[in-house]
Structure 1
């Protein structure tokens, strides 16, 4: 085993990525697959996950769960947990990437939009973790803890200019929830950390990019570019590696300095 494999190797790990069919989740799943992990992906659209899994299977093992992975509902979470439990006796890494956003002027902001965002970004996050802890604990040891990596946002501590009230509030809540869980689960050999990306060229952001252009969008980013797929995959892979086995309760911005230097 080389020193790089010792500290950063992920071969043989079992990983679940929610919202893994596209965007950030797809990027993270690809990184783990290429590193030799067995990666399961799920989302609300099983057909999207199936297509992504087929593509990523050219690089290693990627399996799309054949159920609608709607984490905002008890039924959706139960289906994911049942699938994972039937397939695996343990889970090394859980990456909670699935999320929702709703934007509307303050006077028109609908309660249904608020509920949709919080049901997925906070409530669903918590209860999926709760129900997968037994699988994570089965993989965990003191020297090699299991990992929970939640995808937050710099909007959880950096005030956005758009009227995305539920989104920014939900991400702040998910950051605090993650830190709370990190404290509770440390004794069970499970770490909990957050990656807080900046602007990522996702489907949610594509309209803004098309309307004003990437140069305008990134003019206030100190490093003058968007958060890229490799940035997200590399950070998640580090947090899942042996090198990060003593790191927990951290909210790590991956944003080119936007939230911490402006």
Structure 2
């Protein structure tokens, strides 16, 4: 057993959507620190370029910005075309970009429901589908590529907030991941889901500002997540250590889900 390289992702080609902030930036930071070649995408070109430059300076891996608005199907295809100009294969696709909407049941807008479902679920399928030639280019059963979908514990439990579209999209994503895992495994593509709990992100900021103490009091380990927690799980799934994990939903929440059952 090659323990030294069991968790190695050095020189792997990685694409992280929503990689310029929050959980996506944490994941990108972890892969760059582990020596991977990381591409990040988000709608804001300026922020994407700034983060990519900062991560490359930290090294030892590198980070490249490929801005795109993943709400739009033509932008998905443009992103993959840009990546294909730079790389002949893709080892790891992290589908992290997402949106949320919190509003009362009686006032919840149809447009918001469609926007959240489109980005959080439909476009993850679209991007994975478009990336398949890159994902399979050098993958094999003994050395697979990896699709890591970022779900949520709110896709497993009914959330306390009125985030109907978000919870539905994440629950759907968990099941889509299992479906894809069964269909793509024999092509050398593993598909798994990470279901995070509370992490310090822009999406969670208002909730943590208002209810942080209450949230932490319900987490058995007594804290919210750190960059190491989410990046470490992704690195496990993308490395030799995770090559027999396929179709799994891994909760990374400090035990919050089980403490509220």
Shift of 1:204: 1.4
How far, CA to CA, are the matches of 2:208 and 2:160 in structure 1? 15
Does residue 1:57 correspond to 2:56, yes or no?
A: yes
Shift of 1:201: 1.2
TM-score of the pair, normalised by structure 1: 0.96
Shift of 1:12: 1.1
Alignment-derived partner of residue 193 in structure 1: 192
Alignment-derived partner of residue 127 in structure 1: 126
Shift of 1:261: 3.8
How far, CA to CA, are the matches of 1:174 and 1:106 in structure 2? 22
Does residue 1:6 correspond to 2:20, yes or no?
A: no
- Which blocks of at least 5 consecutive residues in structure 2 are unaligned? none
Q: How many residues align?
A: 258
Contact 2:39 2:65 survives alignment (8 Å)? yes
How far, CA to CA, are the matches of 1:209 and 1:236 in structure 2? 24
Does residue 1:97 correspond to 2:67, yes or no?
A: no
Alignment-derived partner of residue 236 in structure 1: 234
SS of the residue 1:246 aligns to: coil
Q: Deviations along 1:132-175, whole A, 9 cap, x unmatched? A: 00000003012110000000000001111100000000000000
SS of the residue 1:102 aligns to: coil
Contact 1:182 1:249 survives alignment (8 Å)? yes
Alignment-derived partner of residue 204 in structure 1: 203
Contact 2:219 2:259 survives alignment (8 Å)? no
Shift of 1:211: 2.5
Shift of 1:260: 2.7
Q: 2:220 aligns with which of 219, 222, 225?
A: 222
TM-score of the pair, normalised by structure 2: 0.96
Contact 1:91 1:146 survives alignment (8 Å)? yes
Does residue 1:29 correspond to 2:28, yes or no?
A: yes
Contact 2:32 2:62 survives alignment (8 Å)? yes
Output the aligned Cα RMSD.
Answer: 1.2
How far, CA to CA, are the matches of 2:153 and 2:6 in structure 1? 28
How far, CA to CA, are the matches of 1:235 and 1:83 in structure 2? 28
Mapping of 1:69-84 within 5 angstroms?
Answer: 69-84=68-83
Q: Deviations along 1:18-55, whole A, 9 cap, x unmatched? A: 00001101011011111111000001112111110111
